Amino acid sequence: MEKQVVGKSRAAFLSGRSRPLEFRVQQLKALRTMIAERESEIATALKQDLNKSQYAASLFELIGLEGEISLAVDRLAEWAEPRPVEKTLLTITDQVFIQPQPLGVVLIIGAWNYPWALTIQPLIGAIAAGNAAVVKPSELSEHSSRLLQELLPLYLDQVTSSSPFVSKTQELLRQRFDHIFYTGSSSVGKLVMEAAARHLTPVTLELGGKSPCYIHKDSDITIACRRITWGKFSNCGQTCIAPDYILCERSIQDRVVEEISHTLQEFYGDDPMTSPEYGRIISQRHFSRVMALLEGCTVALGGNNDQSQRYIAPTVLTDVAPDAKVMQEEIFGPLLPIVTVSGVDEAIRFINKREKPLALYVFSSSNRVIKRMLEETWSGGGDGERCDDALHTQLPAVWRRHSGMGRYHGRHTFDQLSHLRGCLVRSLALEGLNEARYPPLSPARLRKARYFLQKRLCSCATVTCLHIIRIASSPPPQALYSVLLYYRFDCTSGVISAIIIIITITITIINIIIIIITITITITIIITITIIITIITIITIITIITITITIIPIIIITITITITIITITIIIITITIIIITIIIITITIIITITIITIIITIIITITTIITITIITITTTTITIITITITITIITITTITITTITTITIITITIIITIITITITTITITTITIIIITITITTTTITITTITIITIIITITIIIINPHNPPSLFPKRRNAGVTITPGN
């Protein structure tokens, strides 16, 4: 069965289903959904296995898992992308990077003390890295393992992310995996590593060890004991990073016991056995093992037990001898020995004489003491003034020798379960650089190979090819600082190299200045053109308004004159009609008087005269009116035509002036920009050509004559700074 499980998982991995990032994210989100939806069932299983309360189940198991999943989902794209690496002179034109790739099929063997956290955390990393996984939970946490077996296939892809559970660990270890992740005891860890060695399979072992806790006399003992009590007796002492024993001076031992007693009463009440927050030992076998460790020890606090309930009260042991049975193996239970030492020096010696622990805890108000402990001891992790390593998901869980090997948490799990593949993509160009390695070899080719393969420009131990590449590509202030601070000008090639660097920096500065000047001139010209066009527009508008204001009175005057002329004409016509009427009346009177004497004879003559007179007057009047109207029309037409012509001429003149000024301005601007561009381009090309020629001459001199000529400058180095080859 085990062989079939592994074969099915390997076939699934080779199909490529687990590699796309979208699939990995989907599986991680499904895992998070499982935790959220089945939280109550998980808490019930943990209560049955270890008597964990619902709140303890969330705090120690589920919250951390949700954080790990969220971190992986948010950062997976960043973790999986190619990682650039530093280049050398030989690879400066190549693509050099590290590509994370899935390992293949990963075996995850979980632990019973935190059956969900210590099984699913590695699974999160395996999924994120694109692997297929075979999960083997601990059979000791029976209820959690059974529930885990039921839930995972419901939420995860059964083929690519998890496989059916197997019960025989030894048979499973005979199969070939690409990585084995084991959490458990050191004795089983050795068997796992031995089985992995048959296939040269890499392993990650989270084992354990006796994690010391040093309390310095200047520490706040109340706070120290509160944190130690929480870290030690949570989960009934069955935590791999729990403080295994206390080191302190004899003068504060009683105070430590007293403070631990107060804290235990605060946490678990008068009787921890009835407290819902206090756990139980996982099995009868482990209960008997822990109780056997009390042999030959003085119990200062606790010691009560009930085998039927697998209950052991929180117990503190005082004046424990270094060779006592309880000090020979990891306790992994609620027993806390106190070993007295004379001070920090003896504590450091005591720790270093034993196997490297998984964790180390230091409580002191002196940074000097904490620093000494961290620098002069060895452990998987170190913690000053705290006892809560497990809550820091960004810190890697690291193990050394007896406590295990490898690291995980967050990105560290991803890297641990990935193959970090080094990639070099080289162009087929610049083949001339490779001639130094092709036969037939010669002294000249050997010198060329030495130049490119070693990081030195000469036999001087401080000036290297890599330094030049770094500094030449750095910002000018940083590059100049590096030249002045770190370089020794004690050989010709070193001096020339420094000169090349300074020239490069100078060119960079000159180019920046030229670009700034060009941008400034261009902006100035654009602003000037804008101002000129604005002024011309304003003048045009003012002119048109002025002309309009001037023409309107002329038109009004013309209309007024025309009306006056028409009025005068009407008056003249009226006067003429009145005069004619008077003449007619006078003539009528004369005729009337004359009629008396000449009635018949002159009637015809008078009628004829009157008719002729009326006709003459009428003709004259009509002629006068016609002449007046004609003169008026001619005057109005002349004024109108003159006004329209004048406005048209003025408008055309303004438009021509605007067009002329605009064309002249644009032409001058274009010519100026072209001249500036030609000047900048010519200057840049000239400076770059001089630099390239200088570099070629320098490299040629160094290749032809690699030996040190007499020093041009006395040796000098920055006080307190020594640069070694390859730095």
- Pairing, β 212-215 against β 203-206: unpaired
Residue among 405, 458, 4, 488 nearest 206 (CA): 405
Of 61, 206, 259, 330, which is the active-site residue?
206
Q: In this structure, what are the phi and psi dihedrals at residue 294, rounded to the nearest 5 degrees?
A: -75, -10
Sign of dihedral through CA atoms 231, 235, 236, 240?
Answer: negative
| Half-sphere exposure at residue 224, Cβ-oriented, CA atoms within 13 angstroms | 26
Contact at 8 Å (CB) between 209 and 330?
A: yes
Cα distance between the two ends of the chain: 54
Half-sphere exposure of 651 (CA within 13 A, CB side): 9
d(CA 44, CA 50): 10
Q: Is 206 a catalytic site residue?
A: yes
Task: Check if the beta carbon of residue 213 is closer than 8 Å to that of residue 247.
Answer: yes
Calculate the alpha carbon distances from 666 to 137, 159, 529, 533, 534 in Å.
Answer: 81, 72, 8, 11, 14
Q: Round to whole Å and give the CA distance between 144 and 47.
A: 9
CB atoms near residue 388 (< 10 Å): 12
Q: Tell me whether residue 575 is exposed, middle or buried, using C-beta atoms within 10 angstroms of its C-beta: 0 to 12, 13 to 18, 19 or more.
A: exposed
Query: Where is 535: in which H helix or E strand?
Result: helix 492-597
Classify 207 as helix, strand or coil.
Answer: coil
Q: Residue 719: helix, strand or coil by DSSP?
A: coil
Rg of the chain on CA atoms, in Å? 53
CA distance 317 to 326: 10
Q: Which helix or strand (DSSP H or E) is residue 724 part of?
A: none
Structure tokens at 260: 């631990």
C-alpha–C-alpha distance, residues 132 and 16, integer Å: 10
Which residues on adjacent β-strands are paired with residue 406?
399
| Cβ contacts of 398-402, under 8 Å, gap ≥ 24 | 399/205, 399/206, 399/207, 399/358, 400/356, 401/355, 401/356, 402/186, 402/207, 402/209, 402/355, 402/356
Sheet with 105-109, side-by-side order of all strands: 132-136, 105-109, 179-183, 203-206, 404-408, 397-399
**How much of the chain is helix, strand and coil, in % rounded to 5?**
60, 10, 30
* Residue written as token pair 């261009």: 522
Catalytic residues, by residue number, are 206
